[in-house]
A and B are shown apart, each in its own frame.
Chain A
Amino acid sequence: MHLSLGLTFIPPLLIAYRSQGFWMTTNTYMEQPDVTFKKQLMLILNKPQPGEFLAWSTYSNFNSLLDQNSIRIPIVSSVESDVNGDGKFDQLNFTVSIPLESTESITSFGLLLIFDYKLYRMSTLQMETLAYISHSSVSAGSSFVAYGDLRLYQKTPLRHRGVDTRFNTTIVDSADSSASTYDLSTIFSAYSQRNLTTQFLNKYPVWKSGRGAQQPFTIEVIISYPTETITYQPGFWELIKWGWVQYVTILLLFLWVFRKINIAVFSEQLFNTVIVHPKIKRH
């Protein structure tokens, strides 16, 4: 009888455990992030002459580091639109137009845009992220257009609840005035270490050459904020729930099988058994 009980209740656990995971360690959900362009940017344009460049940023400390001939203030324009009217922005149209002299030309550029990124459904996450758009060409350009998505890149799963502001720190420390702070490699080395980052992906860059004299160089970037599949670590009760669901479904099968076996064994009296009759009332 004890053997039968043991055979009924232990094997379902073993089967559930051995069949690729009893405890659900990670799970996923989908959510459209609440993204806002922080109106912070850094723009570096390289000229074909080695070492010559033009740059500008919304960080005054960076601008004051630049040589006066290297700083060129562009015309920046941005429109964030909520296409489906759900209260979250779906797209950013970002345009920057850099005035250039006829003798100047641009063969490559790097553009850093800073975003505020929020998630609400499981853990309440807020972080500062960036999109880096760059292109280089052998021929001097007149305009650049790119269409892409701001995708979330996760190295570790999120927590299932709580407030997560681990990465709500400034990517570019605008209070610092040293040149190394604004070096792109410094910015990227710190940023790439983060467990949660965003990237400008799925891009379709178009570089056009043939700039007219006195015409500006224009960069247009259309960034979508797509719905993301986010991995998270389930909480205790979710873990127990799915463990229970797995165990009980197999257990029900075993209960049924062993009941049949028990009935067969005991009714056929395969072993020596003592039949205990219900007590007879004695008077």
Chain B
Amino acid sequence: MMPTCEIIYILLMLSCVLGQRTTCFCDLNIGLCDVNCCCDTEDCSTSDIETFTCLVPLTNADTLHCVYDQVVFVNNIAQTQTVRQNGLFCIEVDNFATRNMYTSPACISSDTCFDDIGQIYFYNVSTNVPQATESFYQSGDIVYTIFNNSNAQSMLILPSSGVSNVCQDNNPVKYLSNESNSCTRSSSDLMTSCNTDYSLDFAFYAEGFKIVPSPSLLNLTGNSEILFNDTELVSISASCTLNNINTTECLSPVYNATTTQCENVVTSATYTIGTNGTNGISSVDLQIDLSMIGEASFPLTQQFAINFVSIQNTGTVLQLSGNPGYLVGRPLLTAVCDSAGVPQSFNSNPNVGVTLVTPTATGLCSASEALTRQAILFGQDQTTGCMTALSTSTCQQIQQEIFATLDGQIFNQNGSVCIGSYGNTTDLTSTADWTQVIKADSESILISVTETNTGCQNMILSSVYEILFANAGNISDPQPKVVGARYSYGNPQFLQFRCIGGNCDRGTNQQRVEISTSVTFIDISETPVSLETQRPTIEAKLPNDFFSPFKDSVPVN
């Protein structure tokens, strides 16, 4: 009997009901007649029920599990509904009624029940408080500090921008990972900020706490806590510059009411942390730049950096741009060459060399040295530009000014500029490692500039660096090498003095002209192509007259 029942069960899976409930499912209020609940006979009078549209339970208590031809969802007449149907596919005897019931979970209340469930996801703010577990700092660890106030333990921070560009002060320093951030501080009232905002004060970055040189100090002391006055702790030695001049002592911000400016405001802070292997931190130096800041400088941009230096490294550091091939995004190595292309000296001035013009905040060109020109980074195609106002000068003078803006300082010397072929080119004596930049002659262009009543003819307004590079070395590990560089000017243009409306005076019109510089990197790598030799032909020789019956000319004897 059992197998038959199971087969029918499968057939009728969709129409099966999951239990024999006899309760009134819509009776949700005891002592109150539930609207439209016709089975709530306890609280509803028969006349109440007559006004109802009866809710029919979606499950019904049919134990026969019949397949229904008609389904009644809402019974809107007073008569009650009785389903009587007995077809072929009804279960007459259900000898396994419990399959319609949920089984109750075996595990009810013990800790292991929860452990056995498996992965559970629940709402919980993860609380990862870093704890000193190792006996020495490893890269990526936070750096511990002890505060003067109540000897509280904390961590060294380096403000950073986060969700917005405004500084987040809780950004922890990670041991041995150099970092450089810039973020902003806002102020609603300069005087209040100057006197109260801790983030403008050098002391926030330098005083009131000491660095824990190694986490073993925190562990070894056990119950006796480490104190601020303990000699093992490393204090921060801060040095300040005020308006780019070294000062003997660091000063806290002071509001100057006469100039309405805030003096001694921190604009940059750079930590240099000396490390000594597993012994941890041996020294902490802090370089702070202080400035006099007016209301207009807010939101104030502050620069923060941290550098970890091993105490083994005492010499000067030379930064490479790749080893050996250039890395994308690293600056081009440049040197001053003589006219023959022989390198003379390294170039470290960011304003000299292969550079692009940087626009000022107003978009105008600036001849000021303070505004550093845009460095050319390997692999980054760039375009920059600025607007220059046409003055009353002659066209040649204007062109000369434009050339100065385009070229920068590189070609003002009696020489040329060379670019290191590889990112690790450090040897000035090996001429082969340097590529001379081929430069267009600006003097001959200057001669061709002619002045007319309506404007200047043959004016150059743009320049472009084209840098050729090719991959060298093994195909699986390509090393980009600079093989050639050219600096050329754009097409000569007719610069017309524009008149709009009645305003057509050349001197006062302040007509502005766009000047642009750009750099493009061109890959001329030649990938080796694997060549296959021609297949050897099979030299199977047949007798001369093998096809002779099919040939046109049958030899006649």
Contacts and interface: CB of A to CB of B under 8 A. Distances in A.
DSSP class of A's interface residues: helix, strand, loop or mixed? loop
Interface stretch (B55-63, B247-255, B354-362, B445-453): B354-362
Interface stretch (B297-305, B412-420, B546-554): B297-305
A87 B471 CA distance: 13
Given A68-B512, A75-B384, A209-B164, A102 B359 contact: no
Interface in A68-87: 68, 71-79, 81, 85, 87
A154 to B, nearest CB: 30
B265 to A, nearest CB: 13
A143 B163 CA distance: 11
A73 B165 contact: no
A39 B521 CA distance: 12
Interface stretch (B222-230, B373-381, B529-537): B373-381
A73 B384 contact: yes
B8 interface: no
A102 B296 contact: yes
Contact of B300 (A74, A87, A142, A212): A212
Contact of B299 (A75, A77, A87, A213): A213
B300 A79 contact: no
B363 A79 contact: no
Contact of A72 (B296, B298, B363): B363
Nearest to A100: B361
B165 A209 contact: yes
B381 A210 contact: no
Contact of B374 (A75, A143, A209): A75
A198 interface: no
B382 interface: yes
Interface string A39-54: 1000000000000000
B184 A63 contact: no
A142 B184 contact: yes
B166 interface: yes
Interface in A141-194: 142-143
B328 interface: yes
A210 B164 contact: yes
A88 interface: no
B516 interface: yes
A213 B387 contact: no
Interface string A207-244: 01111111110000000000000000000000000000
B241 interface: no
Nearest to B182: A212
A211 B165 contact: yes
Contacts of A58: 383
Contacts of B358: 75
Given A73-B385, A76-B382, A211 B361 contact: no
Given A60-B514, A75-B384, A79-B380, A99 B361 contact: yes
A142 B328 contact: no
Given A78-B381, A79-B328, A210-B186, A101 B165 contact: no
B164 A73 contact: no
Contact of A75 (B163, B301, B359, B361): B359
Contacts of A100: 361
Contacts of A213: 296-301
Interface in B157-205: 161, 163-166, 182-184, 186
B329 interface: yes
B161 A79 contact: no
A73 B297 contact: no
A209 B359 CA distance: 22
Given A99-B359, A214-B361, A142 B165 contact: yes
Contacts of B383: 39, 58, 75-76
A210 B300 CA distance: 10
Interface string B68-112: 000000000000000000000000000000000000000000000
A63 B300 contact: no
Nearest to B461: A60
- Enumerate the 4 nearest inter-chain pairs by beta-carbon distance, A residue then B residue, closest first: A212-B301, A210-B165, A73-B385, A212-B184
5 contacts: A71-B363, A72-B363, A210-B186, A213-B298, A213-B301
